Structure formats: C-alpha cells, structure tokens
Amino acid sequence: MTDSTLANSTPAEQTPPPRAVPVADWVTIDDLFRDPFPIYRRMREEAPVHWVPAVNRYMVTSYDACHTIENDQDVFSANEDGSLMKRAMGHSMLRKDDPEHMVDRQSYGTVLRPKAIKETWLRIFQQNSETYLARLKAAGPGADLVWDYAAPYAAENLRIIMGFHNASQEDMQRWSQTMINGTGNYADDPAVWAASEQSFREVDDAIDEMLPRLRANPDASLLSGLAAMPIPLEAIRANMKMTIGGGLNEPRDVLGVAVWALLDHPGQRDQVLADTSLFPRAFEEAVRWVAPIGMYPRQTTRDTVLEGVFLPKGARLGVVIGAANRDPAKFADPEAFDINREKVPHLAFGGGNHFCAGTWVARSSVADVALPQLFAQLPNLRLDPDNPAVDAGWVFRGMTALPVLWD
C-alpha cells in the first residue's frame, strides 16, 4: 500500500470520535415560554443536541437531527418512560411504536381523511365559521380573534367530528387546555396536574356515555366508528384525549399565528387578498414559522450517535420542531415570515409513521374556510395598536392574545 493510498483511506480508527453533549444550564423554562427562538438559535449554532437540566432531557434543535429521529423508531422510541403525556392523557398512539401504533392509527379509519372532509366536514366548518364570525362581529372591534373566534371555532369543529354530542365547545376547550398543560408540565406544578386529572376523568365519563348511544345510532363521527370496532376501552379513551389536545390547539394556534403574521406583514396580506388561492401558502408558512406543537419526546433504545453527538441508551429527548423549522441550514432567512419562500418540507406535522392524522382537518378548516372568511367579512382587518398581540409557549406555542380592529 502506497503512502498516497494511506492518505486517502478512512479506516474506523481514523473516524473522529463522537462529541460530548454540551450542557445548556443557562436555559430556563420561563425564558422558553416567553420566547424560545433566540435560545434555539444559540443552541443550533453550538451543537444539534444539548442536555438541558431545566427540562431534564436532551433537546434536539437541528432539522436534520429531528428528521432522523422521526424516521427511525427502532432507535428513537415514542414509548418514553415516565411520559408526561401518558400521565395526562393515557397511553395513546402518539406514545407507541409500530406495530402497536399502527393498530391504533388504523382504527381511526377514514374519518379525518380528505375524502371525508370534502363530503362531510367542510360544510360543517363553513357553518361553524359563520356562527363564530357573527359572535366576533357582535363583540365589535377590539375583540380578541383567538378567544372570540379561533378557539370556539376549532373546538366546535372537533366536538362534532369526534362525536361528543354530550359536551359543549367550552368543555372541549377546557379539556384540551388542561390536559395539554399536563403534557407540558415540566415544572411538575401540582395545580396543573389537578386540573389535568379532572379533565381526564370528565372525558372518560363523556366517552362512556356516548359509546352505547353511538352503537345504537351510528353517525359519521370518530367515536361512532370506534364504537363499532373491537378496540379496548382504554385505547379509545387515551386516543380520544390525545385527539382533543392536538385536534384543537393545532388549528386554533396556526389560525391565530397566520392572521397575526399577515396583519404584521401588510405586503404579504395584500398579496394574499389579491389572490386568495395563496391562503394555503400562508397557512404552511405560519405553521413552519411558529409550529403549534413545538416539541415532542422520544427515548433512545440503545447507545447511538446523532449528528456526531453521543447519546446513551435510555436518553430522554425533546425533538424541538420549533427549532428545526427555523434551521438556516434548511430554510433561507428562517426567522422571517415569508409566503414566497422556496418550498421546503417543514416538520410541523411530524413525519414518518407518526405524521399527524389531523393535518387535513387543520388545513381545510383554516386555509380553506377560516382565513378567507375572516378577511372577506371583516373589512380592513388590522391589529389593535393600543393592545399588542402576545404569543407564548414552547412545548405548545400560539397566540395568547390577538386584539383586532376592523371597519
């Protein structure tokens, strides 16, 4: 073997060893809640993975690392030990790997698929939007677009799709928020757990009441389909709670963020109003820019190296979609809201076997119905200069206040 051959060879012993995981002991939960994006920028620049003592897990912030995790359930398991989601909602499909995950997912049938949306749910979305737009108008300029429109609209859509004919949209909002707070309760606040556990019990009671009613009088709802299948009751309960969470907060939060972003970028707002076929692009950019589900957990099944960083077996990870979707290695000028950016797949709805089953509901109810109706029926819709909009959160992120004016 010549010297030049040696120089060009890459035997195992010449491969650089995996780097140690940096410790981000400067990160606090309060800072993440207020504005996580400067934190994510700093972390990404240092390494794709950090150990974060404040949340007791490794946070993964680069696009490539998050994408790798999403597509390798053999190494990165959804079935995390000590899962906050399991405690808050039960052991749903989101905390299972295949084949158990796929059994649960297939039990949902076609209720959330595009054909069902077109044939059954789109008409209901339109009706519900008209109802809550009327309430927003009645509240008058200065009303909060999230709490006077987006939240009840998303909740009522979900209530009907799921088949909770024994509950109200207010119940759905309360159940969703308190259980979501439980899944993100990294501070282990006992008051948060108490509220989450109360909703846990109420949802079980509502399901137990509806199942026999829907077996006797089936309809197009999700619970009706599940009532006709030989599925364990605990699986139905857990998956329904999971759906109440993501199925409400995702459309609510992306709708609020999309309106906020368009109103804060008048050039892009005018572009969309001149060509309403661009509302779906505004939706996709909003969900990339501020992912409504900003982080979800995984756990390593064995020692592994992720993007050059060593992770031991049993490592509890936070897959930070809110950071991955702003990775400059993947997106040009990623901190900017830009509906005209080059189309690059974002990770806001997950990927692999856990791609969000409610994606089509969110897209249809927001991009096809809510956004066009809001801008068509509220002339000169604009932000309230005296009452600023507020966005918050990191495990889940959205608008907590969105006062608006119109003529």
Residue 2 in this model has a pLDDT that exceeds 60:
no
Nearest to 83, CA basis, from 187, 185, 174, 200: 185
What is the per-residue pLDDT for 11? 44
- Measured at the CA of 98, the angle between CA 104 and CA 197, to 5 degrees, comes to 50
Residue type (1 letter), 264? D
Residue 4 in this model has a pLDDT that exceeds 70:
no
Calculate the average pLDDT of the chain: 93
Provide the residue range defining the domain that includes 307: 14-405
Average pLDDT over residues 222-247: 93
Which H, E and C letters describe 66-106, residue by residue? Answer: HHHHHCCCCCEECCCCCCHHHHHHCCCHHHCCCCHHHHHHH
pLDDT in tens, 281-316: 999 999 999 999 999 999 999 999 999 999 999 999
Three-state SS at 219? coil
Is 5 inside a domain boundary? no
Three-state SS at 325? coil
Residue 83 in this model has a pLDDT that exceeds 50:
yes
Instruction: Look up tokens 């309403």; give the residue.
Output: 276
Q: What is the distance between the terminal CA atoms of the chain, rounded to a whole angstrom?
A: 81
Residue 359 in this model has a pLDDT that exceeds 80:
yes
pLDDT in tens, 136-183: 999 999 999 999 999 999 999 999 999 999 999 999 999 999 999 998
Residue 54 in this model has a pLDDT that exceeds 90:
yes
What is the per-residue pLDDT for 186? 86
Q: Which residue has the higher pLDDT, 19 or 399?
A: 399
Residue 193 in this model has a pLDDT that exceeds 50:
yes
Average pLDDT over residues 369-391: 97
Q: What is the pTM of this model?
A: 0.92
Is 7 inside a domain boundary? no
pLDDT band at 5 (very low <50, low <70, confident <90, very high): very low
pLDDT band at 246 (very low <50, low <70, confident <90, very high): confident
Residue 1 in this model has a pLDDT that exceeds 70:
no
Nearest to 210, CA basis, from 159, 269, 142, 141: 159
Three-state SS at 2? coil
Q: How far is CA 1 from CA 4, 8, 13, 14, 153, in A?
A: 8, 11, 17, 17, 72
pLDDT band at 358 (very low <50, low <70, confident <90, very high): confident
H helices present in 163-232, as ranges = 169-183, 190-216, 222-227
- Measured at the CA of 160, the angle between CA 158 and CA 164, to 5 degrees, comes to 95
Percent of all residues in the chain with a pLDDT value above 70, rounded to a whole number: 96
What is the per-residue pLDDT for 15? 61
Phi, psi of 356 (to 5 degrees): -60, 125
Residue 12 in this model has a pLDDT that exceeds 70:
no
The neighbouring-strand residues paired with 51 are 23, 58
Is 312 inside a domain boundary? yes
Phi, psi of 176 (to 5 degrees): -60, -50
Residue 3 in this model has a pLDDT that exceeds 50:
no
Is 91 inside a domain boundary? yes
Average pLDDT over residues 353-380: 93
pLDDT in tens, 327-349: 999 999 999 999 999 999 999 99
pLDDT band at 9 (very low <50, low <70, confident <90, very high): very low
Is 233 inside a domain boundary? yes
Distance CA 404, CA 141 (A): 6
Residue 199 in this model has a pLDDT that exceeds 50:
yes
Q: Are 316 and 78 in contact (CB under 8 A)?
A: no
Distance CA 247, CA 34 (A): 24
CATH number, domain of 274, equals 1.10.630.10
Is 306 inside a domain boundary? yes
Is 372 inside a domain boundary? yes
pLDDT in tens, 121-137: 999 999 999 999 999 99
Distance CA 348, CA 356 (A): 9
pLDDT in tens, 17-37: 778 899 999 999 999 999 999
- Would you state the structure tokens that stand for residue 243, as one six-digit string? 């759906």
Residue 48 in this model has a pLDDT that exceeds 60:
yes
Instruction: Look up tokens 């404040």; give the residue.
Output: 54
Domain count, the chain: 1
Average pLDDT over residues 311-328: 97
What is the per-residue pLDDT for 14? 57
Kind of pairing, strands 316-319 and 296-300?
A: antiparallel
Is 60 inside a domain boundary? yes
What is the per-residue pLDDT for 368? 97
